[in-house]
Chains A and B, each alone.
Chain A
Amino acid sequence: MTSKITENTRWRSLINVFLKEVGIGVVLLVLVVAFSLAAPRFFSVLNVSNIFTQISINTVIAVGMTFVILLGGIDLSVGSVLALCSIIAGKALTNPSLPFGTAIVLAVTLSIASGMLIGFFNGFISETWKIHSFIVTLGMLNIARGLALQISHSRTIFNFPQIFKDFGTTTYFEVFPAIFLIALALVVIGTIILRKTVFGRMIFAIGNNEESVRLSGHNVKFYKVMAYTICGGTVGIATIMYMLRMGIASPILGVGFELNAIAAVVIGGTSMSGGKGSLIGTFLGASIMGVLNNGLLLIGMGDFARQIVTGAIIILAVILDTYRNKLSAKFNA
């Protein structure tokens, strides 16, 4: 009897996974097939590798953003924080008194630590004074940008160690750029955290019904602040990836990154009101955006038309998502 229930539920949960996560994958698959047919070079090793590079940074920021959005919050500061972290890490990286190795380790550590610290502030302020994260992170967006400009005197930082820049353009097995592998690893680690740990369970539970979780005897504030800290941490990692890819650090970079990350999360099926979503979805969402940007250019579409089509497909993907949810609800009824 027991085993039968388990088997039945396993089967059901498999269908659920398909409906919930693979659904958006179908959109991606359709796009890939269509572009492959329309543009002969689209499915080449070089181009696939390019797309992997191009979605990496957005994917990593969106991973952190998913944690925050799952709680029903939002982090608008990620783009500015990326700029601030890049200046801090850039200063460390180009410090002439440090040997290369030390400078690189210091840059990576400082970038992630600063990101986490700012994320912690976002969460802590929002939770302690019960201010919506939209406002707190909007404030932080300005603070971080201002700090980045102040510290750097608006100057772009360059002249990174060659070994650092070389790693940024390294590609494994012809198609897997180093920074893409970092992004992939974060998606996997994030998925394990969300699906397999107590922490992840609490994130979903709080996103669905915070009061119930509190009354079940949990320290809700701790988990919420942690989620913002994680988001900040991923921004710190994304910063390093940006510096690897571009070989510069600048106080004006990252403008609008928050919107791309939010779009990836939402296309991936995570609910803006929290409690529902997945990192696989987020990854697929970021992929769809990257594929669109790349594919539309390859079929020769102009700048403005590309913008229009990208916007339309984002909306369409989310509309499709609501149908998928209805189907899933019907199945579970």
Chain B
Amino acid sequence: MKKMLTLAVCALMLTPIALMAKDANKKNNDDPLVVGLIMKSLANEFFMAMEEGAQAYAEKDGTFTLKTMGMNSETDFDSQVNAVDSLIIQGVDLIVLAPADSAGMVAPVKRAIDAGVTVINFDVTLDKEALRAAGLPEEFLFVGPDNTDGAEMVGNYLGEALGEGGKVFILEGNPGADNAKQRKNGFMKAIKTHGLELLASNTAHWETEEANTLMSNLLTKHPDVQGVMCANDSMALGVVRALEAAGREDVLVVGFDNIPAVKELILNDKMLATVHMDGTEMAVLAFNAGFEIIEGKRENLGWVQSPLKLANKAFFK
């Protein structure tokens, strides 16, 4: 009886492996260019959408084979290192990488370059000091958005709506994350430009529930708040719920990322605006920059800015 059970449970545990294995065994044909796309956590909708968009692009384009790899979590940099190494062994021509750790990923990038693979850094910049230490140029080519600019753009939009002296909160991302720092800096610039009053700036670690708790607590402390700047949309969702629970319809909220869930909020005036960032577009920019380098048309230096757009009510109509 117990043996049967053991078998049954083992079989049950193996089913997902069998299902997943099907995906992994996709064979690449003899196409000359093989591109490896290494993203951060696929649990993040942004990267999930990027993966799907990039796959669709590769299929339509037809000139290269794409291998995509996502991690288990935003900070899972061990498996990113392994992913780079395994792509080197598989002999890919181009690696497009969104580093989970700005400094930590420099060493594997160096290994790939030494092995003759072209590497494009996108989404998050590699650490300048670590690049110099590894003997790579500090201005190693980066394809990605200007987070500071984006935050400043949406912050200015809020500032215009509130007018001078408007009272605001900032909800920060993970302390220590580069993009969190840049977005906060952008928000601060907008606050300065429009003469806003910053009542509080706290982290909610990118999370909806934590942002909800933080927002309702901050509302108690500063009931006179007029606007909230959130470093991502997940936190904005929690903030909007906290305002709904408190029956406050007068507080304006802006976010960042344009995840699908905010569209309806912006259309219903629950949120003022967010920053639209297109993952697929960014990946495609990175692919093309890579192809140009391989063809010798471009140097592996500089910054290819991926566009950021203000997503307000008009954007969705």
Contacts and interface: CB of A to CB of B under 8 A. Distances in A.
A246 B43 contact: no
Contacts of A250: 208, 234
A251 B234 CA distance: 12
A188 interface: no
B43 A149 contact: yes
Interface string A135-164: 000000001011001000111101100000
**Chain B: interface size category:** 35 or more
Interface residues of A, number: 46
Interface stretch (B96-104, B213-221, B303-311): B213-221
Given A44-B220, A125-B9, A297-B217, A246 B48 contact: no
A293 interface: yes
B247 to A, nearest CB: 8
B156 interface: no
A248 interface: yes
Given A155-B260, A159-B264, A293 B213 contact: yes
Contacts of B9: 125
B209 A253 contact: yes
Interface in B192-244: 202-203, 207-209, 212-214, 216-221, 234, 237-238, 241, 244
A318 interface: no
Nearest to B215: A50
B301 interface: no
B108 to A, nearest CB: 25
A169 B212 CA distance: 12
A297 B218 contact: yes
A245 interface: yes
**Listed residue (B16, B43, B244, B260) with the most chain A CB atoms within 10 angstroms of its CB:** B43
Contacts of A128: 2, 5
B246 A46 contact: yes
A212 B63 CA distance: 71
Contacts of B245: 53, 168-169, 171, 177, 245
B202 A303 contact: yes
Given A41-B220, A154-B45, A154-B48, 19 more contacts: A41-B221, A50-B220, A53-B245, A54-B217, A125-B9, A143-B16, A149-B42, A156-B261, A169-B241, A242-B209, A245-B212, A245-B245, A246-B237, A247-B237, A248-B208, A293-B213, A294-B217, A297-B221, A304-B175
10 contacts: A47-B220, A143-B16, A149-B42, A156-B45, A165-B244, A169-B245, A177-B245, A245-B212, A252-B44, A303-B202
Interface of A: 39, 41-42, 44, 46-47, 50, 53-54, 57, 125, 128-129, 143, 145-146, 149, 153-156, 158-159, 165, 168-169, 171, 177, 242, 245-248, 250-253, 255, 293-294, 297-298, 300, 302-304
Please name the 9 residue pairs, one residue from A and one from B, whose CB atoms are nearest each other, closest first.
Answer: A154-B48, A158-B261, A169-B245, A47-B220, A50-B216, A297-B217, A252-B43, A54-B213, A303-B203
Interface of B: 2, 5-6, 9, 16, 42-45, 47-48, 175, 202-203, 207-209, 212-214, 216-221, 234, 237-238, 241, 244-246, 259-261, 264
